A and B are shown apart, each in its own frame.
Chain A
Amino acid sequence: MAPKTLLLLPILTPLTFAWGSNQDLYIRDAVQDLDPYAVEAALRRRALIARQSQIVKAKRNAGRMVLSRQINARSPKAMPEPEPVAEADPEDHPFQQYDAGLFRRDGSVIPRDPYANPTAEAVTDPEAWFEGGELHAKRERILEAKRAVLREKRKRSFFAKKAELAKREAEAEAAANANPEAVAEAEAAVEAEVNVEKRETGSWFSWMKFCPLSRTLSTTPRRSYADVVDISSIPPTPIFHFSETESLMAESVSKFANEVIAPKVREMDEAEAMDPTIVEQLFEQGLMGIEIPEEYGGAGMNFTAAIVGIEELARVDPSVSVLCDVHNTLVNTAILKYGTEKSRKMWLPKLASQTVGSFCLSEPVSGSDAFALKTKAERTSNGYKISGSKMWITNSMEAGLFIVFANLDPSKGYKGITAFVVGKEAKGFSIAKKEKKLGIRASSTCVVNFDDVEIDGDQLLGKEGEGYKYAIGILNEGRIGIAAQMTGLALGTWENAAKYVWNDRKQFGQLVGEFQGMQHQLAQAYTEIAAARCLVYNAARKKEAGEDFVRDAAMAKLYASQVAGKVSGLAVEWMGGMGFVRDGIAEKMFRDSKIGAIYEGTSNIQLTTIAKLLQKEYTN
């Protein structure tokens, strides 16, 4: 990769310098017609320069500190020391590492690509976010006006700012020169960081992953203003305010689920198998490529739309919902976020139109302790060889594509974990055993074996040794999907029971739903469902807005699964005998709800994550 990049550099270097370190925005706008690989190379070059200037900046910072210390010495009250940047302990458990901000050195998220930087998505496509409803037009106007002002401001203030910056930096540098000790300290710190990176991956270029390099180039001018549009003054909406597209989608999916899936739910549950025509229709409806951009054959919708779809499906059948959820939020997202352009082109069109995806992380020995996985990968002359066995693999019977996590270098521990894409037809791949389950029985869960499965080099997903990061990142999002499956389940079973007690079942001469004892229970349950849905949609919107959502996702999944368990249990009781028999969906929903506390992070893992993040916030 690196030599090829370097070869391309001379072509664009003059251009790059011409732009200097000005915003990416201009570059992305200006180079839309150029070869994207060449542009990527140019951006890499820019990042290289940025890194070098980081050292210079560190010097200046040191200078500023000297200045501020001098000021403090004069003032009676000492100013607090600048907060140290949280550094993850590399020996920590991987989950802890992530929580400590592994991807967020110096406390900020550096966007890797538009899919990983949801702010861009959210704000750049206000239609997806803010359209619909009465406030839409108002928001649009505000946004448009803001953009116009920003454009104008940026034009006017660029030179003024530059001059001012130069002045300040000169001051800082002068101060730094007066205090060489602090400068040396800062330089050493930066150097150490670079060296750690070098040691870890063997390439000095590895630090590039912290720069916005692999970011896909913008195709719309609107997107390029994403980073700077301030949405804080836009009137906030209720959490459940859906955009026009989202509500149209909810309606369409709900109709599809009720008319096509509902008549088959019982049959599929009894047969413990997914009806292939349902899978086919999910593809036809575009439900298997919700977030996949249009250019790869998907619907190109936002994350919340996926959540809406998963929830609507779960209201009717949580088994179909989980098939759709794993495919969309785990498999598609993994390739979209971490795959190279080549692998995106190779896999996404298939995933959007015909091939079900499956996510193979768990093993007999590694569940909650995901990175204790034993599946191994070795390099071969033209690719890799995977051997091992995966367990609890959702969608495995239907899937044609498997994202497999295997350790390429066990001596590095979890840092050897690498993600691969394996096709069903690969030699040595086999499905060993289909589990017989308590709930979501129509969804397949199998043991999957990899007996020296040889794959090509381009079936590597992302980079070697980064699999653990991908897994954590994807599962954080995935939790919101599972939470939506659980709220959908709760809503579905509540509605089913409510219709029965308020329309059909009479005792003592009145509908059983008329009794206050029933009414209060129904009201309490619905309130809890609404609360869980608030958590779910809040987490989804936060994710879309590019905010930190790890705790929100964990809370949403924890609470949604608890509510689903409770409400589905109550629903059985409310319906009495009719809830207990295998004619309706009440008992099925009750069985289905159990999985919510188990997969994609057990309730205890969620609690641990939440507590850890809270403790961090409240520790002095």
Chain B
Amino acid sequence: MSAKLRILVPVKRVIDYAIKPRVNKAGTSVETAGVKHSMNPFDELSVEEAVRIRERKKASVDDILAFSAGPAKSADVLRTAMAMGADRSMLLEHDPEKEGGELEPLAVAKVLKAIVEKENRNLVILGKQSIDDDSSQTGQMLAGLLGWSQATQASKVEFDGESVNVVREVDGGVETVKANLPMVITTDLRLNEPRYASLPNIMKAKKKEMKKITLQELGVDATKRLKTVKVAEPAPRKGGGKVEDVDGLIGKLKELGAI
């Protein structure tokens, strides 16, 4: 058995995946007021994976720490993470309304780096991207800042002594990468199926610790480097046509001059 794992699972509160996002009137961002929010689906995968690593007992897990940076309401997703199996959590309150917009990926990576160092983590599992900004940068930046190995878009994670085998889906097949701890793993859709928080676990999560921290405490400079110029809705889709069979399809394509 290898070293004990001290896992960090960053989670983000985003607009629920089932909601159709709308651009606000000013055209500066997506409308978030009065919209249902939940945990970023890729982050659910990473919480689930962390809990499964513990349950599979291939590697010994010391502690699973969930972390979120965002408005005070982000406490909800941390509670969900703890109800799913995280041991404790930390919340960095950052209200995008008051503080000039969301934290940028680099700032988040810096914050995570500070947490990793402060809390002595040796494995970070995070979603490959958040479904609101779709930047898909944080994991990679974090690995770079820490100087750790990274395995992105994991569809399978296996522990083998000190090293970790991660299977990723790539064009034309799967690729297996091997790295030693400490490392950063980002999760992809087919890694696992996240559990539902069961009622007894929801009650247990109430008793788990949720610590609040600030940017100042972490000594992270979150000055904005990017400027959002404009947010616009995609052009509405033009209705397509239906064809009866293959002949119809060929006829239609010819008619449109496509073939």
Please tell me if the beta carbons of B79 and A299 are within 8 angstroms of each other in the complex.
no
Closest residue of B by beta carbon distance from A290: B199
Closest residue of A by beta carbon distance from B205: A248
Please tell me if the beta carbons of A248 and B196 are within 8 angstroms of each other in the complex.
no
Whether B80 sits at the interface, judged by CB under 8 Å, is: yes
Q: In the complex, which of the residues A127, A247, A255, A301 contacts B199, with contact meaning CB atoms closer than 8 Å?
A: A301
Please tell me if the beta carbons of B199 and A285 are within 8 angstroms of each other in the complex.
yes
Whether B83 sits at the interface, judged by CB under 8 Å, is: yes
Please tell me if the beta carbons of B197 and A252 are within 8 angstroms of each other in the complex.
yes
Please tell me if the beta carbons of A294 and B197 are within 8 angstroms of each other in the complex.
no
Residues of B within 8 A of A299 (CB): 198-200, 202-203
Q: Given that A127-B206, A300-B203, A301-B203 are contacting pairs, would A248 and B76 also be in contact in the complex, using a CB cutoff of 8 Å?
A: yes
Whether B136 sits at the interface, judged by CB under 8 Å, is: no
Q: Bound state CA distance, A248 and B81, in angstroms?
A: 11
Q: Bound state CA distance, A290 and B202, in angstroms?
A: 11
Q: Which of A370-385 contact B (CB under 8 A)?
A: none
Please tell me if the beta carbons of A248 and B200 are within 8 angstroms of each other in the complex.
no
Residues of B within 8 A of A249 (CB): 199, 202
Q: In the complex, which of the residues B83, B198, B200 contacts A294, with contact meaning CB atoms closer than 8 Å?
A: B200
Whether A244 sits at the interface, judged by CB under 8 Å, is: yes
Residues of A within 8 A of B200 (CB): 286, 289, 294, 298-300
Residues of A within 8 A of B76 (CB): 244, 247-248
- CB of A222 to closest CB in B, whole Å: 14
Closest residue of A by beta carbon distance from B193: A259
Residues of B within 8 A of A294 (CB): 200, 203
Closest residue of B by beta carbon distance from A299: B199
Residues of A within 8 A of B83 (CB): 248, 252
Whether B137 sits at the interface, judged by CB under 8 Å, is: no
Q: In the complex, which of the residues B38, B79, B201 contacts A286, with contact meaning CB atoms closer than 8 Å?
A: B201
| A-B contacts, CB under 8 A, total | 57
In this complex, how many residues of chain A approach chain B with their Cβ under 8 Å: the count is: 23
Residues of A within 8 A of B197 (CB): 248, 252
Please tell me if the beta carbons of A256 and B206 are within 8 angstroms of each other in the complex.
no
Residues of B within 8 A of A245 (CB): 202-203, 206
Q: Which of A87-143 contact B (CB under 8 A)?
A: 127
Q: Which of A248-296 contact B (CB under 8 A)?
A: 248-249, 251-252, 255-256, 284-287, 289-290, 294
- CB of B117 to closest CB in A, whole Å: 31
Q: In the complex, which of the residues B38, B75, B198, B203 contacts A284, with contact meaning CB atoms closer than 8 Å?
A: B198
Residues of A within 8 A of B80 (CB): 248, 251-252
Closest residue of A by beta carbon distance from B20: A503
Question: 1/0 per position for B46-76, CB-CB distance to A under 8 A?
Answer: 0000000000000000000000000000011
Closest residue of B by beta carbon distance from A259: B196
Question: 1/0 per position for B82-97, CB-CB distance to A under 8 A?
Answer: 0100000000000000
Q: Given that A245-B203, A299-B203 are contacting pairs, would A285 and B79 also be in contact in the complex, using a CB cutoff of 8 Å?
A: no
Closest residue of B by beta carbon distance from A131: B206
Q: Bound state CA distance, A289 and B83, in angstroms?
A: 17
Q: Bound state CA distance, A287 and B205, in angstroms?
A: 16
Q: Given that A127-B206, A244-B79 are contacting pairs, would A251 and B38 also be in contact in the complex, using a CB cutoff of 8 Å?
A: yes
- CB of B20 to closest CB in A, whole Å: 10
- CB of B89 to closest CB in A, whole Å: 13
Q: Which of B203-248 contact A (CB under 8 A)?
A: 203, 205-206
Please tell me if the beta carbons of B206 and A285 are within 8 angstroms of each other in the complex.
no
Q: Bound state CA distance, A289 and B198, in angstroms?
A: 11
Residues of B within 8 A of A287 (CB): 199
Residues of B within 8 A of A247 (CB): 76
Q: Bound state CA distance, A309 and B197, in angstroms?
A: 13
Residues of A within 8 A of B206 (CB): 127, 244-245
Question: 1/0 per position for B184-204, CB-CB distance to A under 8 A?
Answer: 000000000000111111110
Closest residue of A by beta carbon distance from B82: A248
- CB of A336 to closest CB in B, whole Å: 16
Q: Bound state CA distance, A244 and B200, in angstroms?
A: 14
- CB of B22 to closest CB in A, whole Å: 14
Q: Bound state CA distance, A285 and B199, in angstroms?
A: 6
Q: Bound state CA distance, A159 and B199, in angstroms?
A: 46
Interface centre among A255, A290, A309 (most CB of B within 10 A): A255
Q: Bound state CA distance, A255 and B199, in angstroms?
A: 13
Residues of A within 8 A of B203 (CB): 245, 294, 299-301
Q: Bound state CA distance, A290 and B38, in angstroms?
A: 23
Q: Bound state CA distance, A294 and B202, in angstroms?
A: 12
- CB of B195 to closest CB in A, whole Å: 9
Q: Bound state CA distance, A289 and B202, in angstroms?
A: 13
Question: 1/0 per position for A378-407, CB-CB distance to B under 8 A?
Answer: 000000000000000000000000000000
Q: In the complex, which of the residues A244, A251, A285, A305 contacts B198, with contact meaning CB atoms closer than 8 Å?
A: A285
Residues of B within 8 A of A298 (CB): 200
Residues of B within 8 A of A244 (CB): 75-76, 79, 206
Q: Bound state CA distance, A284 and B199, in angstroms?
A: 9
Q: Bound state CA distance, A244 and B83, in angstroms?
A: 12
Residues of B within 8 A of A256 (CB): 196
- CB of B78 to closest CB in A, whole Å: 11
Residues of B within 8 A of A305 (CB): 199
Q: Bound state CA distance, A286 and B197, in angstroms?
A: 9
Q: Bound state CA distance, A298 and B204, in angstroms?
A: 11
Closest residue of B by beta carbon distance from A352: B200
- CB of B136 to closest CB in A, whole Å: 25
Q: Bound state CA distance, A271 and B79, in angstroms?
A: 39
Residues of A within 8 A of B199 (CB): 249, 252, 285-287, 289-290, 299, 301, 305, 309
Residues of A within 8 A of B79 (CB): 244, 248
- CB of B118 to closest CB in A, whole Å: 26
Q: Bound state CA distance, A299 and B203, in angstroms?
A: 7
Q: Given that A244-B79, A248-B79, A248-B80 are contacting pairs, would A255 and B202 also be in contact in the complex, using a CB cutoff of 8 Å?
A: no
Closest residue of B by beta carbon distance from A254: B196
Q: Bound state CA distance, A127 and B205, in angstroms?
A: 13
Residues of A within 8 A of B196 (CB): 252, 255-256, 285
Q: Bound state CA distance, A255 and B18, in angstroms?
A: 11
Q: Bound state CA distance, A244 and B199, in angstroms?
A: 13
- CB of B240 to closest CB in A, whole Å: 16
Closest residue of B by beta carbon distance from A305: B199
Q: Bound state CA distance, A248 and B38, in angstroms?
A: 10
Q: Which of A230-253 contact B (CB under 8 A)?
A: 244-245, 247-249, 251-252
Closest residue of A by beta carbon distance from B207: A127
Q: Bound state CA distance, A252 and B81, in angstroms?
A: 12
Closest residue of B by beta carbon distance from A281: B196
Closest residue of B by beta carbon distance from A244: B79
Interface centre among A248, A299, A300 (most CB of B within 10 A): A248
Question: 1/0 per position for A65-86, CB-CB distance to B under 8 A?
Answer: 0000000000000000000000
Closest residue of A by beta carbon distance from B198: A286
Closest residue of B by beta carbon distance from A127: B206
Q: Bound state CA distance, A288 and B101, in angstroms?
A: 43
- A-B contacts, 17 of them at CB < 8 A, read A127-B206, A244-B79, A244-B206, A245-B203, A247-B76, A248-B83, A251-B38, A251-B80, A252-B196, A252-B198, A255-B196, A285-B199, A289-B199, A299-B202, A299-B203, A300-B203, A305-B199
Q: Which 7 A-B pairs have the closest CB atoms?
A: A286-B199, A299-B199, A286-B198, A252-B197, A299-B200, A256-B196, A286-B200
Known: A248-B79, A290-B199, A301-B203. 19 other contacts (CB 8 A): A244-B75, A244-B79, A244-B206, A247-B76, A248-B202, A251-B38, A251-B80, A252-B197, A252-B202, A284-B198, A285-B196, A286-B198, A286-B201, A286-B202, A294-B200, A299-B199, A300-B200, A301-B202, A305-B199
Interface positions of A (Cβ within 8 A of B): 127, 244-245, 247-249, 251-252, 255-256, 284-287, 289-290, 294, 298-301, 305, 309
